[in-house]
Structure 1
Amino acid sequence: MTPGSATTAPGTAASSPWLVRPLSTDRPARLFCFPFSGSGASAFSAWPAAIGDVEVCPVQFPGRENRLAEAHYGTYEDLAAALAEALEPHLDRPYAFFGHCAGALPAYEAAVLLAERGLPRPDRFFVSGQPAPHDDAGDRMLTMSEPELRGELEAFIRGRGIEPRRDMVDVGLHVLLQDQAAARAYRRAEPAPLGCPIVVLHWRDDPEVSLDRLQGWRRYADSVDFQVVDGGHYDFMAAPATLLGVLGFA
């Protein structure tokens, strides 16, 4: 083995900085999962490694967690272009995208790019708690001051059962501010249909995003299915059984 090279375990594909673990070559399908603003792939750490025969593949954006030393992705358009390139080698079997909140937007743009390049489209595109790209998201956090965002972040960390340290909050706030800038800069003027079924998930106890505000997704595919899931905006992180049932490939 030459210096700096790495071995790949049997039954796994080569590792990528965009994926938190090497992909299995044995699973017949994959579910790529995209985190919300200010977060990383650890948002899916409680999810099982597979849902039935479908491998769960959390995606790690640059500029956070184990990629904290890397430059931030900049805009959703730049992120989507990098995602399309990074994921292309792993589209050798049926796959789906799952994007929670703002994570659904670069995931959507990446899916559009893949289709434009003649590459395999997702079998399904799952949207969780995020209005359509051409609609105003109405996200109250986009209008918050930095002190307000710090307080929001501290409350979120406490809600996960962790007492927030100053250094932890400083790092998280730095990531969140850059992600929020990307979210403010993004707006798609006209829908580009995905050419695959879309499943839109509404969290019943979500005070931020109503079912009505998700209806704009009807313009993005011929088949758009709306599913109401018990829980609040961040309850997807615990991988509740009702959510996993919706996501399982038939």
Structure 2
Amino acid sequence: MHQSTLGPWLRRPMVRPEAEMRLVCFPHAGGAASSFRPWQSLLPEGIEHVTVQYPGREDRFTDSPVDSMDVLVREVADALGPLLDGPYALFGHSMGSAVAYEVAQELRRRGFRAPVRLLVAGRASPHHAVAGDIHRRGDGALADELARYGATPREVLADPELRAAILGYVRSDYRLIETYRPSSAEPLDCPVSVFFGSEDPECGARDAETWSSTTSHPLTTTAFDGGHFFLVPRRALLAEAIGRDLGVGFQRPVRTWPSTP
């Protein structure tokens, strides 16, 4: 399937017909598919990566944001169905880790094969993560939260129009994850890998270990230098770790023009 046939929910920067498996990526709260675009030149050639594009941002700016985990999971599972004709894995960062977990559970309910592995970062397991109330606070508090993580430059938030647009979908994302209650399902029948930043207050070594309850297989944890967004400066190292955990031989792809703009 080319990008034109993937629909609104998925983005694929590069088609790799000979890839051994697909890696489906789920961004953090406030994040978008573009955050994973650099991975096309870092992941092993044997992996084709596809990223979920949440509504309300980037090329889906005019689409209404989704603030319900159940709705989001159903929509993503519908979109992924045609791509699950071979081995696949799921990767989620922060809020995306919970979405990836719930999508794995939903795909199992629908009778699809299990993912080769669930890979997560930046958040304790759904059954252990602490829910906040950021979505109930004013715009100032929400903007401060974004600035605290360094995910959005302060000069962007200083522009009234950009600030209003960004805070609109970010608030929906926070509402989704802060009102989310995990499904009481059986552990997944696939291994789970957890990546975390050594200085991340949201997910340290102890938080990473909580994911052991989500799988019937041994848990793999890997620490990286950095904070909550360690995966930006440590992209290359993380790509190597992902290839290792997925059992795909590491060979950087030849740099080519992407298949879509």
Q: TM-score, normalised by structure 1?
A: 0.85
Letter in 2 for 1:27: A
Aligned AA for 2:203?
V
Unaligned runs of 5+ in 2: 248-261
1:83 aligned to 2:76? Answer: yes
Q: Give, in angstroms, the shift of residue 20 of structure 1.
A: 2.1
**Using a 3 Å threshold, how does the CA distance of structure 1 residues 189 and 123 change in structure 2: closer, same or farther?**
closer
What is the aligned partner in structure 2 of residue 236 from structure 1?
Answer: 231
Task: Give 1:118 shift.
Answer: 1.3
- Residues 41-96 of structure 1: per-residue CA shift (max 9 Å, x gap): 12213222562110121210122221121122231111111111100100111111
Structure 1 distance, partners of 2:20, 2:232, is 24
4+ runs of 1 displaced by more than 4 Å? 138-144, 161-164
Q: Structure 1 residues 162-171 or 179-188, which shifts more?
A: 162-171
Asked if residue 25 in structure 1 is aligned to residue 17 in structure 2, the reply is yes
Q: Give the corresponding residue for 1:196.
A: 190
2:134 & 2:181 partners in 1: Cα distance? 16
- Give the conservation status (yes or no) of the 8 Å contact 2:128–2:210: yes
3-state secondary structure, aligned to 2:40: coil
Alignment-mate amino acid for residue 46 of structure 1: P
Identity, % of aligned positions: 30
Worse overlay, 63-72 or 141-150: 141-150
Decide which moves more: 120-129 or 163-172: 163-172
* CA distance in structure 2 between the aligned counterparts of 1:177 and 1:93, rounded to whole angstroms: 36
Length, aligned pairs only: 240
CA contact 2:132–2:178 (8 Å) conserved in 1 = no
Instruction: Provide, for residues 200-243 of structure 1, a one-character-per-residue CA deviation record: whole Å limited to 9, x for no partner.
Output: 11211213322212322111112211111222211313452221
- Partners of 1:105 and 1:189 lie apart in 2 by 11
Higher relative CO (CA 8 A, sep ≥ 6), structure 1 or 2? 2
SS at match of 2:25: strand
Report the counterpart of residue 40 of structure 1 in structure 2: 32
Q: 1:87 to 1:129 in 2, by over 3 A?
A: same
- TM-score, scaled relative to structure 2: 0.82
Cα deviation per residue 1:130-157 (whole Å; 9 max; x = unaligned)?
Answer: 1111123255846754311123335632
Asked whether the equivalents of residues 13 and 24 of structure 1 are also in contact (C-alpha less than 8 Å), the reply is no
Displacement, 1:189? 6.0
Structure-1 separation of matches of 2:158 and 2:115: 38
Larger CA deviation: 23-32 vs 168-177: 23-32
Distance in 2 (alpha carbons) for counterparts of 1:83 and 1:142: 23
Q: Does 1:135 align with 2:128?
A: yes
